Amino acid sequence: MGWNRVIGQERVVDTLKRALASSRVAHAYLFHGPDGSGKRAAALAFAQALQCEHPEAAPCDACSSCRRAARLQHPDIQVLMPQPADVRPEEIRERLDRLAEDPYATVDFVRRSSLDDSGSTSNRVVQYSVGRIHDDLHRVMSFKPVEGRWKVAVVTDAELLRKEAANAFLKLLEEPTPRTVFVLTTSRADRLLPTIVSRCQRIRFERIDDASLEAALVERARIEPPIALTIARMADGSYARALDLAGSEELLASRMEVVDLLRAAYQVWSHADVAAETVERLSRRGREHQKFLLGLGLVWLRDLVLVRHLGDQAPIVNVDQRDELLKFSSRMTAARPERMVVLVEEAMDLVDRNMNARLLFTVLLQRLHDAMHGAESAALVPSLVEG
């Protein structure tokens, strides 16, 4: 798991590393901040570091403690999430295994009632029951560590400790057993009992910056850089959201929108009504979504350049649209895809500069049309400025 699994959040990681190095580890921490900012990932890395057999390098990621901590199978680390009353143990284990693979995966019962279908909802009440606080925390946390140096409990979505459960948990915090560490995570710190909050060292997580998100998408999720950047910009500082987008139907639907846009450009004069509709639809989108679509368009057009030069063996991004790209390329022999790339890049820049969207997309379709038919076309900027 290790610190390198935590995306961005350098300030937080430094604080936790300093606590480890100086052996001034608090009895309880509250990691709070927006969803998907990495609170749980940092909590798991911290738990691993506390148990590592090489404190000077913790977590070393190599010792037996580290390896079991990374698999979420260390006997002295409890990872709790709110759950329905009728949950099966193997259901929890499956979620923890997914979490061990990717600490940013959406595996909790609150946001995902079934692992098979991310969109499904359920009426099962998800919470921390008081029985669970007794069984999984009181009992476990009052024993000495089995083999590690600490007993660590990570309590995720801690705002779902309600009433009796919260009071039972408070007792644990009030009567600390030596060498126990609690890490609570929440995106709703305002919903926690103030008496719980006041006993924790608060660590604030900020939204993850776009550059870190982009790098993580490229390195971990193997997303191509132009798409990674557009996804990063849409994800609003949440890597969990970015992952959802990367694998979502929203992304697929958006790519179809891009193909529609190019079709509308191709027929801008012969089917003026379709072009006008496309412009209208694009104009109503938010700026981030417009940039996202143009970013996807850019990737598509770069693929077209590759297909044009390398044929059906071209190493393209949109592998599932290879036929579409080949068709486009063979039908439009006069087209100048390199020119189209430049036009879309210009358009992205103009969206950023708050250019009137209707005007921008109208001119963009016309210029793309010209480039598709091999005609010389003016740059977007001068014609828009003159217009």
The site for Zn ion (CB under 5 A) is made up of: 52, 59-60, 63, 66
351 CB burial (10 A radius; 0-12, 13-18, 19+) = buried
State the helix-helix crossing angle for 272-284 and 357-372, rounded to 10 degrees.
Answer: 140
Kindly state the DSSP code that residue 321 receives in the 8-state scheme: G
User: How far apart are the C-alpha atoms of 217 and 237, rounded to whole Å?
Assistant: 12
Strand partners for 182: 28, 153
Backbone angles phi, psi at 24, to 5 degrees: -105, 70
CB half-sphere exposure, 62, CA atoms < 13 A: 4
Whole-number Å distance between alpha carbons of 260 and 274:
10
Query: Which amino acid would we find at residue 220?
Result: R
d(CA 163, CA 355): 52
Question: Quick one: three-class SS letters along 42-80?
Answer: HHHHHHHHHHCCCHHHCCCCCCHHHHHHHCCCCCCEEEE
* Closest CA relative to residue 141, chosen from 95, 103, 179: 179
Q: C-alpha distances in angstroms, 40 versus 15, 83, 137, 250, 251?
A: 16, 16, 18, 26, 26
Q: Name the minimum Å distance from CB 58 to Zn ion.
A: 6
Beta carbon of residue 54, minimum distance to Zn ion (angstroms, whole number): 5
- Report the C-alpha gap between 22 and 9 in whole angstroms: 20
Angle between helices 239-246 and 225-234 (to 10 degrees): 130
Query: Could you tell me which residues are beta bridge partners of residue 180?
Result: 151
Q: How far is the CB of 165 from Zn ion (least distance, A)?
A: 33
Burial 284-316 (b: 16+ CB within 10 A, else e): ebeeebbbbbbbbbbbbbbbbbbbbeeeeebeb
Measured CA to CA, the distance from residue 258 to residue 361 in angstroms comes to 13
